[in-house]
Amino acid sequence: MTTKQKKNQKESRIIFGLFLVAAGVMAALLFRYGPNAGFSKENYVVSFWGDFLFDSPKDYAMNMIAGSTHEYNWDGEIDKTDKSTCLDDGNLFLFDAQTGMYGFADKNGNWLTTGRYDNCDFSHMDKGVIITEEYINYPDYIKHGLLDLNYNELLETKYKNIVFFDNYVYAEEYGRDNCGIFDYSGNAIVESVQSGILLYDDFIVAEIVPSEDRDYYTEGFYGVYDFNGKEIIEPKYDYIFTELGPERFIVRDYDNKYRLFDFEGNDILGECYEEIDCRFLDEEAEYQYIFIIKNEDGTFFICDKDGNKLTDTYEYMEKVKGSNVLFIVGVNGKYGVIDYLGNIYIDFVYDNLGTLKKENDIK
């Protein structure tokens, strides 16, 4: 190579280097002050020179992969819409043209889940869950389920209805009126429950059908649970009556016999009776609540909520008309009147007091 050629090559390199520097400076100025100013490199693909921007991978995924989908109107007509959307975590709720369903993808359009939902409801994300929907016959039959915010399945998409409470959800299935109570991690507090379920502040009264018997029994066995799933009263009873005032359960077994339990599951009376009836008196009474107990031999007595007897045992007992605290009682075929503490108001000398009324006959 001649001296002149070497000189020309050196000058060309210098000029090319200056061109690169100038182009870089110009691109930086255009990017900072030009029409693309303010766009974030995080959300957009920037050219090597930085002088223009491609669409973001997120937008590309939305535009290229999302196709037309379906949504049923109330009149049964199909409306072609696309519910694909960008999520707050940077991922996509995305229509999958291959399955005709929705799934979740990253911002580049890579699937995080399979496309298997007709829609998702994001209104309860503050509780850490996403509601999934599959249409059986929209809008009459929609199956619901739950995902966590990482798109892990908490509840299978099979429930007719999901009701949200502060610390748990009530999920009701289709078909056999089965339901369950679950926490927000998808753990079952009580499941395999029939439609007979009552939710209170501190416990659940539920009609349980064992999973192996669900296809054979139309009715279950009633029990009581707390919201950690702990069993308070074993599910083996025909029905459970809840008395919130005295904080007691009256349970009826399948022989039509009754027992009295407290809210901790203790058997107050220790045995079963023909009938147990709770009565509210008034706030000024010594006992606001009393229990009228009918023995299996047909006799009666009154006790307080702790099982302490307040009266003797009588062959007959009926409330005096117009009074909550006075009772007509019978002993050896003679009738008198007592109050709920056993105090005698009318001696046991009468053959019949059936027409007795407080306002006219008892002072």
Let me know the angle formed at the C-alpha of 61 by 55 and 62, rounded to the nearest 5 degrees. 95
How many C-beta atoms lie closer than 10 Å to residue 330's C-beta? 20
pLDDT bin (cut points 50, 70, 90) of residue 30 is very low
230, pLDDT greater than 50: yes
33, pLDDT greater than 50: no
Instruction: Please indicate whether residue 223 or residue 110 has the higher confidence score (pLDDT).
Output: 223
What's the confidence (pLDDT) of residue 322? 82
Mean pLDDT, range 212-223, rounded to an integer: 68
Task: Give the Cα separation of 72 and 81 in Å (integer).
Answer: 10
235 class by beta-carbon count within 10 Å (0-12 exposed, 13-18 middle, 19+ buried): buried
Query: Highest-confidence range of 75-89, 134-148, 192-206, 267-281, by mean pLDDT?
Result: 267-281
Please answer whether residues 340 and 320 qualify as being in contact, where contact means their C-beta atoms are separated by less than 8 angstroms: no
Please answer whether residues 66 and 82 qualify as being in contact, where contact means their C-beta atoms are separated by less than 8 angstroms: yes
Two tokens, residue 136: 């059986």
Phi then psi for residue 57, to 5 deg, are -55, -35
Cβ burial 239-248 (10 Å sphere, 16+ → b, else e)? bbeebeebeb
Task: Give the Cα separation of 241 and 224 in Å (integer).
Answer: 11
30 class by beta-carbon count within 10 Å (0-12 exposed, 13-18 middle, 19+ buried): middle
The H or E element containing residue 241 is: strand 239-243
Task: Give the Cα separation of 210 and 189 in Å (integer).
Answer: 15
Please answer whether residues 291 and 273 qualify as being in contact, where contact means their C-beta atoms are separated by less than 8 angstroms: no
Mean pLDDT, range 182-190, rounded to an integer: 93
What residues form DSSP beta bridges with 145?
132
Task: Give the Cα separation of 110 and 106 in Å (integer).
Answer: 5
**Torsion angle in degrees (nearest 10) through CA of 185, 191, 192, 193:** -130
What's the confidence (pLDDT) of residue 155? 96
What's the confidence (pLDDT) of residue 197? 83
The H or E element containing residue 23 is: helix 3-33
Task: Give the Cα separation of 276 and 292 in Å (integer).
Answer: 6
38, pLDDT greater than 60: no
Return contacts of 337-344, CB within 8 angstroms, 24+ apart. 337/362, 338/311, 340/279, 340/281, 340/285, 340/287, 340/290, 340/302, 340/310, 340/311, 341/286, 341/287, 341/310, 341/311, 342/302, 342/310, 342/311, 342/312
Task: Give the Cα separation of 338 and 313 in Å (integer).
Answer: 12
pTM: 0.70
Short-list 90, 88, 119, 87, CA closest to 103: 119
- Percent of the chain at pLDDT above 70? 71
Short-list 111, 108, 86, CA closest to 97: 111
**CA distances (Å), 237 to each of 74, 202, 252, 269, in order?**
44, 20, 6, 17
Instruction: Please indicate whether residue 159 or residue 191 has the higher confidence score (pLDDT).
Output: 159
